[in-house]
Amino acid sequence: MKELLKELHTYKLGKIVEHVPLKEHTTYRVGGTADAFIYPKTATDLVKIMKLIKTYQVPYFVLGKGSNVLFSDRPFHGLIIKLDELDEVKIRGQIVTVGAGYSLMKLSSLVARKGLSGLEFASGIPGSVGGAIYMNAGAYKKDMGYIVTKVKVLTPSGRIISMVNRELNFHYRSSFFQQHKDYIVLEATLKLQQGVKEEILALMQERKERRLETQPLEYPSAGSVFRNPENQYAGKLIEDIGLKGLTRGGAMISPKHANFIVNVGNATSQDIKDLMDLVKVTVKDNYHIDLKVEQELVNWE
């Protein structure tokens, strides 16, 4: 790791910060300390970074806004790559080209103000564009798969290529990238529709008010913990077996929405993971349903 950091500094491939508490970069506000973060300035810099990572065989993880991830409490001995500076946006008519590091909520607001429809579902999703594509983030029966036409990616061999929608294997909370974690999203092209600005903004405001009423936004969380089983809602299953309000350490199954686990007071990652495991076992015992965790678990092995 020391040799890698030395080379990264030498080639000036982006800002480097060492010994970073992951709780400062995740919406759960938990996690151990990462050896280092790097913020590449360009896609070309990222290509060089990945070559050095392979040369020195150092573990790495590409982190968006930290809104759908649970790091363990253990130190992450490797490099966290943050694509925040890949954030250019171009809007030509109904076509939006945007960098992977751009905020999805910010983008939703930007296009709404221009009267473009199609991203209203994302107005409450606090992730990056790249992370949203990786997870095929969605809400209100819409997701990224409906609007992404192509994605510029960095391949494991170090090439930058474009992949079109049909190659990206978008399904409910799933994409090509979850099965091919060594591909990195760099940029996305979205196809939106012309709409009426006032109507789009009104819909987004209505949904914001509904979220405030039904979701525990006053506490750190990572959104919905489990994917909804077919024709059912994970939150209702968890609520019906009486798990709302259950705590482990500083973590709680939200009394407001049972598919949220919230950090109510200096929770550890293990507290949250323990609640996840308990929910899975209890739902399995009661309903014979295997709930799938929607969030990505990192550095637990």
Catalytic residue numbers read: 173, 224, 294
148-154 and 184-191 beta bridge pairing: antiparallel
Q: Please give the backbone phi and psi of residue 62, each rounded to the nearest 5 degrees, phi first.
A: -90, 115
Q: Which single residue is written with the structure tokens 């949904």?
A: 207
Q: Which residues pair with 103 in a beta bridge?
A: 128
Rounded-to-integer distance, Cα 254 and Cα 17, Å: 34
Q: Which single residue is written with the structure tokens 């200096």?
A: 266
What secondary structure letter does DSSP report for 139?
E
What one-letter code names the amino acid at 280? K
Rounded-to-integer distance, Cα 120 and Cα 188, Å: 17
What secondary structure letter does DSSP report for 150?
E
- For 128, the 3-state DSSP assignment is strand
Taking Cα atoms as reference points, which of 143, 150, 135, 142 lies closest to residue 187? 150
> Can you give the C-alpha Rg of the chain in angstroms?
20
- For 192, the 3-state DSSP assignment is coil
Q: Please give the backbone phi and psi of residue 139, each rounded to the nearest 5 degrees, phi first.
A: -170, 160
